[in-house]
């Protein structure tokens, strides 16, 4: 079984550098410029919280 992923909206300036890190991928079926997929097991909790907060702000 694979790891759990979540797709999050992201600032395009940040998404490119995040995709260079382990655990970050272009979001499946989403705008690859504005969305990222995050492998939950590969990202520390603080970074994940930051990204979730940013995604919430960008989509609200």
Q: Where are the beta strands (DSSP E) in the chain?
A: 5-9, 24-26, 35-39
**What is the set of domains in the chain, with CATH numbers?**
5-59 (3.90.1150.30)
pLDDT reported for residue 22: 93
Residue 59: partners with Cβ closer than 8 Å, 6 or more residues away: 9
Residue 21: partners with Cβ closer than 8 Å, 6 or more residues away: none
1 compared with 7, residue with greater pLDDT: 7
Enter the pTM of the model: 0.84
Question: pLDDT of 29-55, one tens digit each?
Answer: 777 778 999 999 999 999 999 999 999
In the structure encoding, which two tokens stand for residue 19, read together?
């995709």
2 compared with 15, residue with greater pLDDT: 15
Question: Is residue 46 exposed (0-12), middle (13-18) or buried (19+ Cβ within 10 Å)?
Answer: exposed
Confidence of residue 18 (pLDDT cuts 50, 70, 90): very high
In the structure encoding, which two tokens stand for residue 48, read together?
């994940």
């Amino acid at each position: 079984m694979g790891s759990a992923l979540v797709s999050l909206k992201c600032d395009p300036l940040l998404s490119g550098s995040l995709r260079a890190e382990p655990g970050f991928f272009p979001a499946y079926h989403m705008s690859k410029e504005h969305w990222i997929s995050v492998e939950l097991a590969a990202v520390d909790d603080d970074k994940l919280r930051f990204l979730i907060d940013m995604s919430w702000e960008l989509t609200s």
